[in-house]
Amino acid sequence: MTTFIQLHLLTAYPASNLNRDDTGAPKTVTLGGTTRLRISSQSLKRAWRTSALFEDALVGHIGIRSARIGRKAADIMTANGIDDKKAVEWGTAIAACFGKPKTEKKKEDPFLLTETEQLAHISPAEFEAVKALALKLATEKRAPDAEELTLLRQDRMAVDIALFGRMLASSPAFNVEAACQVAHAFGVGETLVEDDFFTAVDDLRAKSDDAGAGHLGETGFGAALFYTYICIDRDLLLKNLHGDEALTDKTLRALVETALKVSPSGKQNSFASRAYASWALAEKGTDQPRSLAAAYYNAINGSDQLSVAVDRITALRENMNRVYGQQTDSESFNVADAQGSMAEVLDFVCA
C-alpha cells in the first residue's frame, strides 16, 4: 500500500503581489462565484526549492534548472584555451544531452547555440560530470566522443527532482515522476485587487526647478488568507532517492518546514509580505488522498476569517472521513490558539 502525506495550510498575507500575471496584476481565480487571489504551484515550488532554508538543510543534494548547461561547459573550455568556434561546437554537443539546442545564430553571441530551447533540471552529479568533461576536452584539445556524451544519471538523484519530477523529451528514459503534488494556493475569502498609485522623488531636483514627482507608477495588490494543499507519495519519493531512508526523511522535513515558512518572492521589496502558516494540518495514511478545498467554495468574509476557516476545514475533514470510512492519522498546530507546534508536525511527517 502507498503511504501518502497530505499537508493543509492556512497562511495570511497582508497587502501583497506574490505572483503576477502577464499584466503585472496579482493572479486570481474565480471560485464559488467570487474572485480570489491565487498563487501558482510553480511559484510556490520555486520559492521553496531556492530558499536558503531548503538549501541549508539539503546542501549538495539540490539540482540545477537551466537552459545554459552547454554554455557553462563552453565557458570552461574557453577559460582553458579552447577557441570560441570549437567551444561552441563542443558545448552544443554537450547541450544536446539535455534537450534540443537553439538554432538561432547571432554574431554578437555565438554561444547562444550552446543553450537548449527548454530548461533542463539536472542533479549535482550530472552537473559535475558536465564540468569535468568540459575540462577534460579543454586539456586534451579534442571533441567529445559518443560515450562521453552519456551525461544523464539515474543514481545520486537531486532531492528537488525526486520531489517535483523532470521531463526530458529527448531522453525519456531519464524522466522522473514527481513524488510531490502542489495545488495552486487560493484565498478563502473574496478579494478585490487594488492599485497602488505611487510616486518617487528625484533627490537632486530642487523645488525651485520642479515641485512634481520624478516618477509616477502603479502596481496591483491584494490581501488574503490562503489555503495551500500539498500531497506527497512517500513511497515514490523513497524510490526516486534509491531507497535512501535518511535522505528521504531529511527531504520531507526540509520541504514541510519550508512550505510553512517561506513566501514567494514577488514584490517583497515593495510589500514585505512574508508570512508563516497560521494553521497547519498534516495527514498520513494509505487512503486515496483528497484536497479539502471544498471547505472554501463559499467565500468567508468578516473579521474572524481564520477561526471560521479552521472550523470549516476541520468539519469537512471529519465528514469526509466518516462518509468514506477513511482512517488517516494527523497532527496539527494553530498559532491563534497556541495549540500544537511545528516540531510536532515535522516529527509526525517523518516518523
* Lookup: cell for 343: 516540531
Q: For position 138, what pLDDT does the model report? A: 96
Per-residue pLDDT of 9-61, as tens digits, reads 999 999 888 888 888 889 999 999 999 999 999 999 999 999 999 999 999 99
SS (H, E, C) 178-241: CCEEECCEEECCCCCCEEEEEEECCCCCCCCCCCCCCEEEEEEEEEEEEEEEEEEEHHHHHHHC
Per-residue pLDDT tens for 140-182?
999 999 999 999 988 889 999 999 999 998 889 999 999 999 9
* pLDDT higher than threshold 70 for residue 199: no
* pTM, entire model: 0.91
**Quick one: three-class SS letters along the chain?**
CCCEEEEEEEEEEEEECCCECCCCCECEEEECCEEEEEECHHHHHHHHHCCHHHHHHCCCCCCEEECCHHHHHHHHHHHCCCCHHHHHHHHHHHHCCCCCECCCCCCCCHHHHHCECCCEEECHHHHHHHHHHHHHHHHHCCCCCCHHHCCCCCCCCCHHHHHHCECCCCCHHHCECCCEEECCEEECCCCCCEEEEEEECCCCCCCCCCCCCCEEEEEEEEEEEEEEEEEEEHHHHHHHCCCCHHHHHHHHHHHHHHHHHCCCCCCHHHHCCCCCCCEEEEEEECCCCCCCHHHHCCCCCCCCHHHHHHHHHHHHHHHHHHHHCCCCEEEEEECCCCECCHHHHHHHHHC
The tens digit of pLDDT for each residue in 284-341 reads: 999 999 999 999 999 999 889 999 999 999 999 999 999 999 888 999 999 999 999 9
The amino acid that residue 351 corresponds to is A
| Average pLDDT over all residues of the chain | 92
Residue 213: is its pLDDT beyond 90? no
How confident is the model over 250-257, as a mean pLDDT? 98
